[in-house]
Amino acid sequence: MDTSLFQHDFTASSAIDTHGRLLSRDWLGRAVRVCLAIFLLVCCYPVLAQAVADFHSRQQTLEGFREAIRWEPWNPERYADLATGLERPLKEGDLPEIIGLYEHAVQLSPNDPDYWSRLGQAYDWASRTVDSQHAFEQAALLFPNSPAIQWRVGNFYLREGRREQALAALEKALIADPELRRAAFDLAWRATGDGDLIARRMIPLRSDIYFEYLNYLSGTERLDAALDAWNRIVASGLSFESKDALTFLDALIAHRRIDQLISARTTLEKRSPSVTGKGGPDANLITNGDFENEILDGGLDWRVNRMAGATVRTDNLAFLDGTRSLRIRFEGTQNLSDVLVFQYAPVNPNASYRFEGYMRAQAITTDSGPQFQIRDADDPAILLFQSEGAVGSLPWSRRQGEFKTGPQTELLEVRVTRPASKKFDNRIAGTVWVDQVSLRLIEK
Amino acid sequence: MEDRMFTRNSVILTLLFLFSMAVAAAQVPIGIVSSCEGASIGGTTLVPGTTIFSGDKIDVGAGGKVLVAVSGGGQVQVFENSTVQLTKSPDSVQVTIDRGDAQESGKGIVVSRGTTTPSDNLLVGVQADQNDDKDCSVSKHTRRKKRCKDGND
């Protein structure tokens, strides 16, 4: 046997085998590479499609939104975007397409309350009330605490005349989103005009919401409803501070509801005697007359008339009694002729009162110093009391007087003012302190 | 006989009166604010989704705009520096422009000029920018409705 031939044959067979295996490995590698490429393409396509769809969507044109849908037909937001685009502004015949788009969005994302809510609104627009109700209720079911959805649901019920359900939904909306409160108050009033129903069904017994509602009513001159809300606040025992009632008191003052003003003042006296003074026949009618509390700049508290040439603030270094007084510092730059601080005080007509207040002065220049004035709030020409001005330097000095109100007088302005000087050197400088201001009824 | 007639007529008249009072008291919805910017009703800032009732007067400030989706498929656009009143009549929605401009689309909406500024002309064919009122959109992430910002902001 020729061993070399045998060997040769063996080698040739081995080469063929190796070549075949290499060939098969090459094909396998190629197949793997192709598969990998396909896999990568499949994985990358959604990312790529989203990027392209975003690009088209950012153009904010109808064509851009349509192109975005072509690239990303599985994304419900694309349909909602196009629907929103078609709404603004609406063209004749677009409403069915808008509804179709929202329906598509809901089909793609049936657990998204926002799409249900928008679909409900579109149905409502087309007067498809039953479909609209179903869509809104589905949205509320999916996200019951969403203020935006409760707002839409509440509006829908109001349009359908289901006031109680509407106000219940609006209550949820205003609790969840403080920014919706005023809009909800106003909507409820425009829709129902029924203050009692609104208070019972929509306003929760929460101090912050009730006072916001009270301020809304006061600001929109619905004073009877405001009084009703105030009475509910007082009766329910909600906690609040005097400053919370400022807008309400200002409205009562502006509309000269003096009886209600006195009643509100009495309530505040019971709640915060340190601010308003204690009630009773010998009560001091001046609020915060000892300046021990923060000046509230409204209601029945002091109001500061800010002006160039004088700064007004409380002072805890100089005082007659307690721990604080009011300090007015004049800069010597103006011939001031205006009221510096004042407050309203409700009084009885044809009644006698005693006023008392203390002033301390330091280096007050000019011939005309600050003084107390009391005048009728409705007829400023009726000046009831005017004290001596504080000029130069003075220790704590009492200014007092008695006066009788006129037959029409129900509200007084108690002021600290400085009459203009008629002299050549008339720019007032120096400092004056005010403390222990009181106004008491002597005789009715 | 005359007494009975009188009583019956009185009852009918009373019922008619009560019915008309009830109809007058019920607010008639006209549509919904679908988007808005720098707009208010009676001093209260509008938010999207607010119902517009017959007799409501919409004020739009500088840089503002309002779209009202009128029930039945119409739409009213109120442009900046405008005041319009929407009222419902049996067969149409009347849009009365006190000042500024407004535009309607859809059947059954009639736009007319009020008496306040007779010299102004009704804007016709204005193409408003689409989707330029992002401030009034509903954020999908927070599910909270954004307030209509003041146009001057």
Domain boundaries, chain B: 29-136
Would you say residue A113 has pLDDT above 80?
yes
The pLDDT tens digits for A273-319 are 655 555 566 789 999 999 999 999 999 999 999 999 999 999 999 89
Residue with tokens 């859809």: B106
Of the candidates B103, B63, B108, the one whose C-alpha atom is nearest the C-alpha of residue A89 is: B103
Instruction: Identify which has the larger pLDDT, A80 or B119.
Output: A80
Tell me, what's the pLDDT at A50?
85
- A89: preceding bond cis by omega (within 30 degrees): yes
Would you say residue A57 has pLDDT above 90?
no
- Which of B44, B75, B143 is nearest residue A146 as measured by Cβ atoms? B143
Of the candidates B36, B150, B53, B86, the one whose C-alpha atom is nearest the C-alpha of residue A166 is: B53
Query: For residues A17 and A82, what is the distance between their CA atoms, to the nearest angstrom?
Result: 63
- Which of A127, A148, A183 is nearest residue B72 as measured by Cβ atoms? A127
Do A44-143 and A303-443 show the same overall fold?
no
Tell me, what's the pLDDT at A365?
93
Q: A44-143: which CATH topology?
A: 1.25.40
Tell me, what's the pLDDT at B31?
92
Would you say residue A7 has pLDDT above 80?
no
Tell me, what's the pLDDT at A23?
73
Query: Which residues in chain A have Cβ-Cβ distances shorter than 8 Å to B56?
Result: 190
- CB within 8 Å: A125 and B144: no
Tell me, what's the pLDDT at B130?
38
Of A190-194, A372-376, B4-8, the range with the lowest mean pLDDT is B4-8
Would you say residue B8 has pLDDT above 60?
yes
Which element (helix H / strand E) includes A171?
helix A163-176
Tell me, what's the pLDDT at A325?
96
HEC states along B129-148?
CCCCCHHHCECCCCCCECCC
Instruction: Report the chain A residue with the minimal C-alpha distance to residue B47.
Output: A183
Query: For residues B104 and A332, what is the distance between their CA atoms, to the nearest angstrom?
Result: 62
Tell me, what's the pLDDT at B136?
40
Query: For residues B153 and B147, what is the distance between their CA atoms, to the nearest angstrom?
Result: 12
Of the candidates B153, B148, B151, the one whose C-alpha atom is nearest the C-alpha of residue B50 is: B148
Instruction: Report the chain A residue with the minimal C-alpha distance to residue B141.
Output: A114
The answer for residues whose C-beta is within 8 angstroms of residue A154's C-beta and 6 or more apart is A166, A167, A168, A169, A170, A172, A173, A184, A187
- CB within 8 Å: B26 and A161: yes
Instruction: Report the chain A residue with the minimal C-alpha distance to residue B77.
Output: A89
In contact, A88 and A111? CB cutoff 8 Å: no
- CB within 8 Å: A159 and B133: no
- Which of A180, A182, A191 is nearest residue B145 as measured by Cβ atoms? A180
Tell me, what's the pLDDT at B121?
40
Instruction: Report the chain B residue with the minimal C-alpha distance to residue A160.
Output: B29
Would you say residue B149 has pLDDT above 60?
no
Tell me, what's the pLDDT at B126?
36
Mutate to test the interface with A, among B57, B145, B148 (most CBs of A within 10 A): B145
Q: Give the domain ranges of chain A.
A: 44-143, 205-283, 303-443
* Mean of the per-residue pLDDT values of chain A: 89
- CB within 8 Å: B49 and A91: no
Would you say residue A194 has pLDDT above 70?
yes
Instruction: Report the chain B residue with the minimal C-alpha distance to residue A146.
Output: B143
- The full DSSP string for chain B is -HHHHHHHHHHHHHHHHHHHHHHHHSPPEEEEEEEEEEEEETTEEP-TTPEEETT-EEEEEEEEEEEEEETTTEEEEE-SSEEEEEEEETTEEEEEEEES-EEEESTTEEEEE-SS-TTS----S--PPTT--GGGSBPTTT--BPPPPPTT-
Would you say residue B128 has pLDDT above 50?
no
Query: For residues A305 and A299, what is the distance between their CA atoms, to the nearest angstrom?
Result: 14
Which element (helix H / strand E) includes A344?
strand A339-346
Q: Does B75 touch chain A if contact means CB atoms closer than 8 Å? A: yes
Tell me, what's the pLDDT at A232?
93
Task: Read off the pLDDT of each residue in A186-200 and give the average, rounded to a whole number.
Answer: 93
Q: Does A7 touch chain B if contact means CB atoms closer than 8 Å? A: no
How far is residue B46 CA from its own chain's centroid?
12
Neighbours of A434 (CB within 10 A): 27
Query: For residues A130 and A108, what is the distance between their CA atoms, to the nearest angstrom?
Result: 22
- CB within 8 Å: B51 and A89: no
Q: Does B72 touch chain A if contact means CB atoms closer than 8 Å? A: yes
Would you say residue B134 has pLDDT above 70?
no
Query: Which residues in chain A have Cβ-Cβ distances shorter than 8 Å to B71?
Result: 124-125, 127, 159
Query: Which residues in chain A have Cβ-Cβ distances shorter than 8 Å to B69?
Result: 87, 90, 121, 125
Task: Read off the pLDDT of each residue in A165-178 and give the average, rounded to a whole number.
Answer: 95
Query: Which residues in chain B have Cβ-Cβ distances shorter than 8 Å to A183?
Result: 44-47, 50
Instruction: Identify which has the larger pLDDT, B138 or A284.
Output: A284
Tell me, what's the pLDDT at A268?
85
Would you say residue B137 has pLDDT above 80?
no
Which residues numbered 22-61 in B keep a CB inside 8 Å of some CB on A?
25-27, 29, 31-32, 34-35, 41-47, 49-51, 53, 56
- Which of B44, B73, B138 is nearest residue A148 as measured by Cβ atoms? B138
Of A4-18, A59-73, B124-138, which has the strongest mean pLDDT?
A59-73
Q: How many inter-chain contacts (A to B, CB under 8 Å) are there?
A: 123
C-alpha to C-alpha distances, A354 to A172, A282, A321, A403, B57, nearest whole angstrom: 52, 11, 20, 7, 51
Query: For residues A138 and A136, what is the distance between their CA atoms, to the nearest angstrom?
Result: 5
The pLDDT tens digits for B56-102 are 999 999 999 999 999 888 899 999 999 999 999 888 899 999 999 99
Of the candidates B89, B94, B116, B117, the one whose C-alpha atom is nearest the C-alpha of residue B104 is: B94
Query: For residues A413 and A344, what is the distance between their CA atoms, to the nearest angstrom?
Result: 5
Tell me, what's the pLDDT at A28?
84
Would you say residue B140 has pLDDT above 70?
no
Instruction: Assess if CATH 2.60.120.260 describes domain A303-443.
Output: yes
pLDDT band at A41 (very low <50, low <70, confident <90, very high): confident
Which element (helix H / strand E) includes A34?
helix A3-58
Would you say residue B119 has pLDDT above 50?
no
Tell me, what's the pLDDT at A444?
73
Which element (helix H / strand E) includes A415?
strand A411-417
Query: For residues A55 and A141, what is the distance between their CA atoms, to the nearest angstrom?
Result: 34
Tokens of A38: 């396909």
In contact, A371 and A402? CB cutoff 8 Å: no
Of A145-159, A258-272, A331-345, B18-32, the range with the lowest mean pLDDT is B18-32
Task: Read off the pLDDT of each residue in A256-276 and give the average, rounded to a whole number.
Answer: 82
Which residues numbered 62-81 in A keep a CB inside 8 Å of some CB on B?
62, 77
Tell me, what's the pLDDT at B14?
60
Task: Read off the pLDDT of each residue in A73-78 and give the average, rounded to a whole number.
Answer: 89
